[in-house]
Structure 1
Amino acid sequence: MKNQYLLFAPLLMVACVSNPAPPVAPAGPEAVAAAPDCSLETFAIYFDEGASELSDESDAVVDAVSDTFARCDLYKMEIEGHADASGDAVTNQAISAARAEAVLAALRTRGVDAERVHLVASGEKGAVTDEGAVPINRRTEVRLVPES
């Protein structure tokens, strides 16, 4: 039985060598991955009342923002701070600015170029509707915007 395997071994080797793998066809335009549409990306970072410090949960969102921004070369970032309507307008404006600055500072530590970021402090704008105050307005929104 052992002799039979030895007889067939050279034939198996010849079969493998004589039939190499077919060449790989060059990739066409359809094979190239399309660039991601990052303009659909929006992130919300929430804050406690009167606070502008990032929480542990916020750090996870900032990580996601920086990862997404890194793969979107032709995009700028807009960070818009918001406040609720619980304080006076001047205080709410300052809190919304501080929230936007806190998010930018956290993104800088993750390598985001501040020159590509636009900050907006909206204060309590949008915090009061016909139905009353919106408490969830204590947030910062981060949007990726195509560079023009």
Structure 2
Amino acid sequence: MGKASKGFTVVAMMATGLLGACATQGAYATRDALVDPVNCSNQTFEVYFDEGQARLTAAAREAISMTATRLAGCHVESVRVTGLADASGSAAANQNLSEQRAQSVREAMAATGWPAPAIEMAAVGAEGARTGSVNEPLRRRTEVVVVASSPRR
């Protein structure tokens, strides 16, 4: 798979994840409707990475920014960022890569105004990343779980 094709796949997977997360709250006709914080509820999204990388893509930064904008008027109770890796490489290298991925997302979230002290990090390396003899490329991600409640007063 070429670089352009890989990039498109990552963006498509992220877009699918964002749309899937929004599907339970109804369809959005405009970007403003998507980022309007009328429904302060828990949010979950994933940030995907290229193999062996912890560097955020432009699409990943946009997903983080859009979620921050959407929750700007909400009370964010907690944020948990969990870094994962596929099963290629050593256990130590995968654990380190998972930690770097979680840190990259945490730093980007803090830069867009997320409450940095409230962001918890975890890294699980390649634990559970192999199905039979196949590496699971969807493990090359960071999961972000946001617990939010009604708008701040």
Q: Same fold by TM-score, threshold 0.5 exceeded?
A: yes
Aligned to 2:106: 104
- The structure that has the greater radius of gyration is 1
Aligned to 1:62: 64
Q: Name the count of aligned residue pairs.
A: 112
* Residue 146 of structure 1, CA deviation: 5.2
Distance 2:133 2:52 in 1: 22
1:64 maps to a residue whose letter is M
Distance 2:144 2:132 in 1: 26
The RMSD of aligned alpha carbons is: 1.9
Shift >3 Å, 4+ stretches: none
Distance 2:66 2:133 in 1: 33
TM superposition score normalised by structure 2: 0.66
Identity across the alignment (%): 34
* Residue 135 of structure 1, CA deviation: 1.2
Aligned to 1:127: 129
Aligned to 1:76: 78
Aligned to 2:63, what secondary structure does the other structure show?
Answer: helix
Q: What stretches of structure 1 of length at least 5 have no aligned partner? A: 1-34
* Residue 115 of structure 1, CA deviation: 1.0
* Residue 130 of structure 1, CA deviation: 4.2
Q: Contact 2:40–2:71 (CA<8 Å) still a contact in 1?
A: no
Aligned to 1:38: 41
Q: What stretches of structure 2 of length at least 5 have no aligned partner? A: 1-37
Worse-matched range after superposition: 76-85 or 65-74: 65-74
